[in-house]
Amino acid sequence: MSRWWLALPLLGSVAQAQADSAQSLSNGLVEDSTWSLLNRSVYDQRDYKHGARNSGARNAYKPRDQRNGLAEEWAYGLMGTFSSGFTQGLIGVGVDAHAYLGVQLDSGGGRAGKARLLGLDNDGHPKSEYGRGGAALKLRLSNTVLSYGEQRVKTPVFSSSDSRLLPETATGFFLTSNEFDTLKLVAGHFNESTDRNASSHDQGFVVNYSDGRQGNSFDLAGVVWNPAAELSASLYTSRYEDNWNQHYLGSTLTHALDERRSLSLDLNLYRTTDTGKAFSGQIDNTTWSLVSRYAQGPHGFSLGWQQVDGNTPFDYVTRGAIFIGNAVQMSDFNAPNEKSWQARYDLDMGPFGVPGLNLTALYVRGFDIDGTHVDPNGGYAYLGYGKGGKHWERDLEARYVVQSGKAKGTAFSLRHNVHRGNTAQAELDGNQIRLAVEWPISGGL
């Protein structure tokens, strides 16, 4: 049973529509249409070593009989998107569509497939090319939009990741209401999500850690409050059918000390419990993080703490639905009962004569992992957590965005990531080098 009763307040809110609503200002289906093309080239090399008892965790991405070795891929992605305007009248009608293509540039001498840039055939070999496309019908009344079809979604409990070659998508209903100046209300019902390197739409949901039986639907509802530019807060509830209920509370506060200095706090809290037939086993998990940031001119200094209270890892559906502060490049630092801290430094090179160049250095250390009480019949027993697990990760990144000229907006990024841990945690040791180039093109009809 879906939770569309959660969306009923949205239907009442549209009755308060004003004459200057988004729909009343519509210029038409074609007149407000936009399109974009994103060219992306990614080279990803991962040197896996040892560390975990098995390779089942999210970032291992390796068959269990190939726990060590080199994963290397170079690929090109082309992402085309089209967003129509809305027809005029009380209820506007429109459509959003997308088409994605991924092409293998180098298979790494047979080492491809493990970095998950490319799609895989039935034998587990990387395809020379793969792609997918989809569309969503959308209706707008006042400032409320209902979409149905294949689309990209951004919420803390269900979110389309775009962290590799091609982005994730999800199929279902999604409702967004902006009838109030400081409040946004959302609700959704989905029956599948499509992974970043997938070309088919019939694989159910992308679940990051549990190998339990999949549920058939995912429901969510949330409210986002933005009373001022310095403060935002959000509250979500969600259900992954016959697996878990998950609730989220998040808040961001920024305070300017003067024209060059500021302080900010970022809080994220998830509460997850099993539900229905509990295909993933017994779950009673509270996971939270708090990150503080001090900015002075081009410099940014961050310190963070993250904690998992529960005998299962913090899990989530879709690759992007994790907003906790210590979920970084190679590990989420989300093991059972894990505690972790983060130190980060950011530098904007603009004041030093290189506008568009940003440098980042980050270190996270996790400890006190204890997965010895995980449900032996649940979806996490295969991960093989022990007691006394600990690990660390160091990430370095340089990112440059062209500021002017014909190549304006083109972005170059270079990352070097290192992860190390003992055998009581579930992530492999590894070194990663990732080079990405993005060239966007956009326009209107």
Contact in structure between 215 and 242 (CB atoms under 8 Å) = yes
Confidence (pLDDT) at 126 = 83
Average pLDDT, the chain: 90
Question: In whole angstroms, what is the distance from residue 13 CA to residue 177 CA?
Answer: 8
Confidence (pLDDT) at 337 = 98
List of residues 6+ apart from 122 with CB closer than 8 A? none
CA triple 307-311-313, angle to 5 deg: 60
Contact in structure between 393 and 329 (CB atoms under 8 Å) = yes
- Region for 183 from its dihedrals, namely left if φ exceeds 0, alpha if ψ lies in -120 to 50, beta otherwise: beta
The fold of 31-444 is Porin (2.40.160)
Q: Which two tokens stand for residue 145?
A: 């939009």
Question: In whole angstroms, what is the distance from residue 90 CA to residue 209 CA?
Answer: 45
pLDDT at residue 20 is higher than 50? yes
Task: Return the closest-CA partner of residue 112 out of 176, 68, 53, 46.
Answer: 46
For the chain, domain boundaries: 31-444
User: What digits encode the pLDDT tens for the residues 38-73?
Assistant: 999 999 999 987 655 444 444 443 333 344 578 889
User: What digits encode the pLDDT tens for the residues 403-440?
Assistant: 999 899 999 999 999 999 999 999 999 999 999 999 99
Q: Which residues of 121-139 are buried (b: 16+ CB within 10 A; e: fewer)?
A: eeeeebbeebebebebebb
If residue 10 lies in a helix (H) or strand (E), which one and from where to where? helix 8-13
More confident residue, 12 or 372: 372
Q: Mean pLDDT across the stretch 101-118?
A: 72
Reduced to 3 states (helix: H, G, I; strand: E, B; else coil), residue 163 is: coil
Pairing of strands 299-309, 284-296: antiparallel
Q: Which two tokens stand for residue 118?
A: 């490319």
Q: Which two tokens stand for residue 337?
A: 């009962």
Contact in structure between 188 and 197 (CB atoms under 8 Å) = no
pTM given for the model: 0.91
Contact in structure between 73 and 44 (CB atoms under 8 Å) = yes
